[in-house]
Structure 1
Amino acid sequence: MNNARAATAATTPMEPLDPLDRRIVNALQRGLPLVPRPYAQAAAALGMTEAMLLERLRALLASGVLTRFGPLYQIERAGGRFVLCACHAPAARMEAVIAAINAQPEVAHHYARTHHLNLWFVLAVARPEQVAPLLARIAATAGVEVLPFPKEREFFVNLYLPA
């Protein structure tokens, strides 16, 4: 998803969420119903129309309140692997390093941070043996050392926004 690939730290203040947006965020974290029209059913449970729910979600994404809206996969169950990676991208080369990293289709998204390891990204590969050669290719094309942080344990963090 292109908008997720360009996720960076917010630099502008955002308007506070109104109670309806808070209810939407809280409700949809638990998932969408597995029915032919999941947004219509979710909207009905929230007391609104499907069109209204979709417009609110688009606005939350456009404003940066949500940086991504989509399913989370347990890729390991399908034989694949997610790997969190970090590198130091010199300020003068930041855009070039980002471009080299994002050129790889296996890169799900990246984040800029204010730390020596100032660029973090996530790899998603179909098979674990693809990780090492992909990291070597990224390091060579981006001209940076890439540090992998493979998942050791999975945590689910649920954000609850009081209305």
Structure 2
Amino acid sequence: MDDLDRRLINRLQCGLPLVRHPWQQLAHELASRPGELLDRLHDLLEDGVLTRFGPMFDIEQLGGAFTLAALAVPEARFETVAAQLNELPQVAHNYRREHHWNMWFVLACASAAELAQALSRIEALTGLAVLNLPKEHTYHVGLYFPV
């Protein structure tokens, strides 16, 4: 990762400019070219430096439902269960925690009914009880990790 990659990552954390040609404006800001920035972004994603680039939507405002959930997965089954979750389109991501509930994941569904079905399906698929932790309050945190 070079200086331009770092500056690009730092700038993208603030969002894309809301203009007709955002990559052109970013290129001007970063003294680069739009094509070069897009190529770098694709390389950062392909190399795993970045895991995701895209919009964030408030799924509840769109009529959908989501929840944070967890499983207590025996260590011998951890990779298998992670693969099972990763196959489900409703699972946004999952990650390991050093806790009894060692696998955490976010479920995003089109409706509350679909969310309930997805939770039941995960229990049936894995044979494990799901700890469902729906959001009680919304907090907006301006998260920024300078690189």
The verdict on a shared fold, with TM-score over 0.5 as the criterion, is yes
1:85–1:146 contact (8 Å) kept in structure 2: yes
Match of 1:154 among 109, 114, 139: 139
Change (3 A) 1:64 1:113: farther
Separation in 1, partners of 2:144, 2:77: 35
Matched, 1:89 2:73: yes
Q: Percent identity?
A: 49
Gaps of 5+ in 2: none
What letter matches 2:73 in structure 1?
A: A
1:96–1:142 contact (8 Å) kept in structure 2: no
1:80–1:128 contact (8 Å) kept in structure 2: yes
What letter matches 1:122 in structure 2?
A: V
1:105-126 deviation per Cα after TM superposition (whole angstroms, max 9, x unaligned):
2111212233322211111111
Gaps of 5+ in 1: 1-16
Separation in 2, partners of 1:69, 1:137: 28
Between the two structures, name the one with larger relative contact order (CA 8 Å, sep ≥ 6). 1
Change (3 A) 1:160 1:109: closer
1:108–1:122 contact (8 Å) kept in structure 2: yes
Length-normalised TM-score, structure 1: 0.76
Give the root-mean-square deviation of aligned CA atoms. 2.1
Match of residue 4 from structure 1: none
What letter matches 1:95 in structure 2?
A: E
1:40–1:50 contact (8 Å) kept in structure 2: yes
Length-normalised TM-score, structure 2: 0.84
Matched, 1:60 2:40: no
Q: Could you tell which deviates more after superposition, 132-141 or 100-109?
A: 100-109
Separation in 2, partners of 1:114, 1:18: 33
Shift of 1:160: 4.4
What letter matches 2:87 in structure 1?
A: A
Separation in 1, partners of 2:117, 2:95: 22
Change (3 A) 1:91 1:160: closer
Match of 2:58 among 74, 81, 103: 74
User: In the TM superposition, what are the counterparts of 1:79-158 in structure 2 within 5 Å?
Assistant: 79-152=63-136, 153-158=138-143
